[in-house]
Amino acid sequence: MREITLSQAVNEALAEEMRRDPTTFIIGEDVAEAGTPFKILSGLVEEFGTDRVVDTPIAEPGFMGLAVGAAMTGTRPIVDLMFGDFLFLVMDQLCNQAAKTHYMSGGKMNAPLVLRTNLGATRRSAAQHSQSLHALVAHIPGLKVALPSSAYEAKGLLKTAIRDNNPVVIFEDKLMYNDKAPVPEEEFLIPFGEANVKRSGTDITLIGTSSMVQVCENAADILSSEGISAEVIDPRTIVPLDEETLLTSARKTSRVIVVDEGHQSYGVTGEIASRINEKAFYHLDAPVLRMGAMDVPVPFSPALEDITVPTPEGVAESARKLMSGEMFHAT
């Protein structure tokens, strides 16, 4: 199978869906001639024109509001939000309008739009361009939230998102745009709410989101060399969340670490850990451990930024302590 980058996979998914459905269009800052700062959309304006790849002013609340209205009246907008940090600027349009349209209209209206944005630190982009805010929108009923962990996942999840009749927010990790993975040339979709067991194991379960899936896989390699068998699971979507796959693994291995790049407090790690503790309690040999980003603004300094997010070595060390019981000994 051919290998392409995550950036190419996103571009392919958008082009295929725009060819399939003439009601789809892209709107956002620098999406046309510039192809976004990450050059993900390069070539799309040449094929589809400026009526369907629409450059906007620097006015996130404005073009998000336009997209919500367009979605409610028969089209399928794909909103490109340059950085995930800019979510704060579109929260009313996204969370009070798009997320609630179907419910407040008694099921008579939908807002089938996709908000594409990104997450992730360690790119030296400082505190206002490095946040991972997926838990923010996962908290809002009416929104679906997808977190691709590879080029394959990015293409399959994005195509599913575009065809969904609900508003979907999809987060891509900024550091993964040049990462390559096998992606079929033929059409495929990845259903929402179906986690992917990336690696089978028997001793401990590592649940990772987005780029943290790779962190967990690398940690599993370290642990394997020490005789510890780690199962690695990618939830793919946190709304809807495939609880059953996570619970089945927890019941099998009896120990779980949840790894996410969002701030640890009040985040995705806490939600997943809580569900496993509630529904697999009698199968656990230790409480579920959470590993998220430090609860600090993301530093610009490389030396400081690198230590704010989970690493394979850190996950492996926590797994060792969890296996031995050391982490929960009274001091």
Reference 114, options 143, 136, 140, 87; nearest CA is 143
| Alpha-carbon distances of 280 from 55, 181, 243, 274, 288, rounded to whole Å | 49, 34, 11, 10, 10
User: How far is CA 323 from its chain centroid?
Assistant: 29
Give the tokens for residue 79.
Answer: 């909103």
Taken in order 53, 55, 60, 63, is the CA torsion positive or negative? negative
Angle 314-318-322 (CA atoms, 0-180°, nearest 5)?
Answer: 170
In whole angstroms, give the CA distance from residue 287 to residue 289.
6
Out of 17, 60, 172, 261, which one is annotated catalytic? Answer: 60
Peptide bond preceding 287 in cis form (omega within 30 of 0): no
Out of 12, 17, 102, 129, which one is annotated catalytic? Answer: 129
Annotated active-site residue 134? The verdict is no
- Which helix (H) or strand (E) element contains residue 205? strand 204-208
Q: Which residues pair with 242 in a beta bridge?
A: none
In whole angstroms, give the CA distance from residue 55 to residue 36.
10
Angle 218-267-65 (CA atoms, 0-180°, nearest 5)?
Answer: 110
Report, as residue numbers or ranges, the catalytic residues: 60, 129
